[in-house]
Amino acid sequence: GAEALGRQCGLSYKDFQEAELRAPLVKYHVDFHRPLRLDEEFTIRTVLVWDEGARLNTEYFILKNDGSLAASGYTVQLFIDVKSGEVSLTSPALLEKCRRRWKAGDFGQLKK
C-alpha cells in the first residue's frame, strides 16, 4: 500500500521524520464499485500521481480476486514543517529527490 510505495520512493514515514516534515491528509475520496465479503481476499494497488506542487497525490484501487474493481479513490497530502507548524509552499528536498528518480525512470508503475 501507501507505506510500501513511500519506502520505494524515499517518502516513508521515517524519511518524513528525518526531514522534520509531516504529510497530513487534506483530502480523501473513495468510490465504491462492488462489494467485498468480510472473508474475501483482495489486492490494493497504490499509484503516486505526478504533481508539480508541494504535495503528494496518490490513487488507490482495490481489486477483487477476479480482477474487478471493488473501490477506487485518491488522497492529497500537504507538507508541514514540524518546527514551525507551517504548510510548505515549496517542494521539500525529499520530494525533489523522488521526482529526479521518477524522471530518470526508476518508478515504472508511477503515473505521470
- Give the chain's domains with CATH numbers: 2-103 (3.10.129.10)
Kindly report, residue by residue over 43-96, the tens digit of the pLDDT. 999 888 888 889 999 999 999 999 999 999 999 999 999 999 999 998 898 888
Cell numbers 467485498: residue:
36
112, pLDDT greater than 80:
no
Q: For 44-74, give one letter per residue: b (16+ CB within 10 A) or e.
A: eebebeeeeeebbbbebebbbeeeeebbbee
36, pLDDT greater than 90:
yes
For residues 67 and 45, give the distance between their C-alpha atoms in angstroms, rounded to a whole number: 12
Query: Looking at the whole model, is its pTM more than 0.85?
Result: no
For residues 18 and 90, give the distance between their C-alpha atoms in angstroms, rounded to a whole number: 18
At 4 the pLDDT is: 67
